[in-house]
Amino acid sequence: MTPLTHVVETWASMYSNSWALRSGISFAHIGGLVGAGGCAIAADRATILASGRGREDRVEHLETLHAVHRIVVAGLVIVAISGGLLLLADLDAYLHAAVFWIKMAAVVALTVNGARLVAAGRKAIVGSETEWSALRRASIASLVLWFVTTLLGTVLPNVL
């Protein structure tokens, strides 16, 4: 047995034998998702609405949007850490589940779109319609990806 296999097996045993550990890790994963996703969804909605307003409202919105990104990133870090611990608790089952890989692809798409959203937000400060259109499209994609990722996350434990 390799040292890594031993660590994974030890973690899986600790996790499966502790209701408190399972509850804490699940809460961190769901709590991080609610915090990050909730803020992101609200910001995406506000961005879509702001895209139809005047320059002053748009600039004010962009200042708020930049602050929201920090909260979203912090929540995603919690989701990633707790997700990694969930993965290690049943590594073989997750690695062989197609839904897991589809969800990971959605997470990658969400992350790439998040970077696109941040870049579009920085460019939109100049106020051009082209830049705001890009920001609006990224916000719509973000909304879709948050819900798709959440759906896949709810499907995953039911197919393992």
pLDDT of residue 63: 87
pLDDT of residue 56: 85
Tokens of 69: 């990104």
pLDDT of residue 95: 96
E strands in 4-83 = none
pLDDT of residue 99: 97
Q: How would you write the pLDDT of the chain (160 residues) with one tens digit per residue?
A: 799 999 999 999 999 999 999 999 999 999 999 999 999 999 999 999 998 888 888 888 998 898 899 999 999 999 999 999 999 999 999 999 999 999 999 999 999 999 999 999 988 888 788 889 999 999 999 999 999 999 999 999 999 9
Torsion sign across C-alpha atoms 29, 43, 127, 70: negative
Angstrom distances, CA of residue 141 to CA of 41, 148, 159: 11, 10, 26
pLDDT of residue 15: 97
Find all residues with CB under 8 Å of 91, minimum gap 6, and list them. Answer: 8, 12
CA quadruple 105, 41, 131, 117: dihedral, nearest 10: -40
Q: Whose CA is closest to 75, among 117, 110, 50?
A: 110
Domain residue extents for the chain:
3-159
Distance CA 88, CA 111 (A): 22
